[in-house]
Structure 1
Amino acid sequence: MNLFGRKAAAPVKTGPAETAETIRKLREQLDILEKRESHIEKKIEAQLEEAKKKSAAKDKRGAIFCLKRKKMYESEIEKLQGARMTLETQVMTLESTQVNMQTFTALRTGANQMKAIHGQMNVDSVDDIMDDIQEEMATADEIGRAISQPLGNALYDDDELAAELDMLVEEDLEKQLDAAHQQPAPAQPARVPAQAPATAASMFTFPEAPSHAVTNIKVSGKADADELEELRRLEASMAM
């Protein structure tokens, strides 16, 4: 509420360019303050050295004057540091505000675009389009089935074609059987009897022992009784 009856000033419209320019100027002023602070710090060091020299020269009054000047410079540095802090705070706030403004502009642009798109369609129009799509798909399916239907089915009888196929199969089997009967049987290879492996007994040929009783032993010349008895024993052992 304005107590003096004055109207509030209208807000100044600004854009990203003006905000960026303001931030640039604030940063330039920060650089100026920083350079001045560095210059005053050098003066403080100079006054401190001068005070030491005057004190050594027994110039107490001159030394005190140098220290007073040093305190004045220190007070100036405190003011500069406060101003720098204020400027840095403004820069940071402006940068944050600029980011927020850009985000808001992007959101508003997106919302306006969505409104424009939705102004061209609604739920009812989408439902109508989906119904049209389903009808067209059903029509396309019917057309595809009609096109794929083979022609001339009424010209042929399936039973007659099946009977003809059976006759072809039987004729083919008969031809195969006739060809098999006309081919001569393959000659069987002569079988060679397997030979028994040679043994130690087969390597040497011995006469076979007689399997019948030896009778009528005739002895030419003279023989005594002992020799005849030995011959009989031999005959008996061979007959066993």
Structure 2
Amino acid sequence: MSFTKFTNFFGKSKKQPDHVATTEKLSETLRSLETKEKLLQKKIAAELEKAKAFTKANNKRAAIQCLKRKKLYEQQLEHIVNSQWRIHEQITMIESAKCTTDTVVALRTGAGAMKKMQKEMKINDVDKTMDEINAQSENLKQIQEAIAAPISGQEFDEADLEAELEELEGLELEEQLLQPAPVVSQYVPAKKQPARMAPCHNTAEEDELAALTTELAL
């Protein structure tokens, strides 16, 4: 097996898309022009220095020759710069075209998918599906109502309940009427008696006088 077939077998030599190969080729050319641009700039600077040196040496003819070569290099440099701009423009256009192509392909894919889904989704099928959903909803509603319905034998007559409530209210009123009336207290507070004077304690002289009076009385 040759090397080419071997690489093709393992997929290592897969061909690149056209826009990728073109962009790479343009980028390679751009790098080559940038190298030439730098070289011409150096040559222009060198001829300018030579012209200055010949001018100082009063060698007018040699200085003019240097300036002529400088002009030629500048013309080449301008051509290279213009070529670079054109390559940049070409790369930008290719990238923009690729982006536009990808967008169109994506839109076309989406439109195809929508068209396929619309073919598979017919209006009759939609109506049938909605009828099935409505029928299931109604069936579920009936089941819920059946579950929530009161159990047989546990239904109550509202009139009987109202009569029983009135009877209870009558008994409550009767019990309140039979209870004895509360006794009102007739207690009247007694008048305050004037406070008695506390007995004063006699002094020693008063005690002696009282004893003397008692003896004389005897």
Superposition TM-score, scaled by structure 1 size = 0.62
Post-superposition Cα deviations, 1:48-77, rounded to whole Å, max 9, x if no partner, equal: 121121132232332222122112211211
Post-superposition Cα deviations, 1:22-61, rounded to whole Å, max 9, x if no partner, equal: 3344234323322321221121121012112113223233
Q: Which SS does the other structure have where 1:182 is aligned?
A: coil
Assess, with a 3 A threshold, how the Cα gap between structure 1 residues 158 and 51 changes in structure 2: closer, same or farther: closer
Q: Which SS does the other structure have where 2:151 is aligned?
A: coil
Measured in 2, the distance between the counterparts of 1:34 and 1:155 equals 100
Q: Aligned pair 1:163/2:159, yes or no?
A: no
Partner of 2:194: none
Q: Which has the larger radius of gyration?
A: 1
Structure 2 counterpart of 1:170, one-letter code: G
- The alignment yields a C-alpha RMSD, in angstroms, of 3.0
Measured in 2, the distance between the counterparts of 1:91 and 1:47 equals 34
Measured in 2, the distance between the counterparts of 1:188 and 1:23 equals 122
Structure 1 residue 157: deviation in Å? Answer: 4.3
Measured in 2, the distance between the counterparts of 1:72 and 1:49 equals 16
Q: Which runs of 4+ in 1 moved over 6 A?
A: 188-191
Partner of 2:26: 26
Post-superposition Cα deviations, 1:198-239, rounded to whole Å, max 9, x if no partner, equal: xxxxxxxxxxxxxxxxxxxxxxxxxxxxxxxxxxxxxxxxxx
Assess, with a 3 A threshold, how the Cα gap between structure 1 residues 82 and 186 changes in structure 2: closer, same or farther: farther
Superposition TM-score, scaled by structure 2 size = 0.68
Structure 1 residue 100: deviation in Å? Answer: 0.4
Partner of 2:138: 138
Structure 2 counterpart of 1:184, one-letter code: P
Matches within 5 A, 1:104-143: 104-143=104-143
Contact 1:33–1:84 at 8 Å: present in 2 too? yes
% same residue = 37
Structure 2: tracts of 5 or more residues without a match? 1-14, 190-218
Measured in 2, the distance between the counterparts of 1:42 and 1:155 equals 111
Structure 1 residue 153: deviation in Å? Answer: 5.2
Structure 2 counterpart of 1:182, one-letter code: P
Measured in 2, the distance between the counterparts of 1:167 and 1:50 equals 133
Contact 1:16–1:98 at 8 Å: present in 2 too? no
Structure 1 residue 150: deviation in Å? Answer: 1.0
Structure 1: tracts of 5 or more residues without a match? 1-14, 192-240
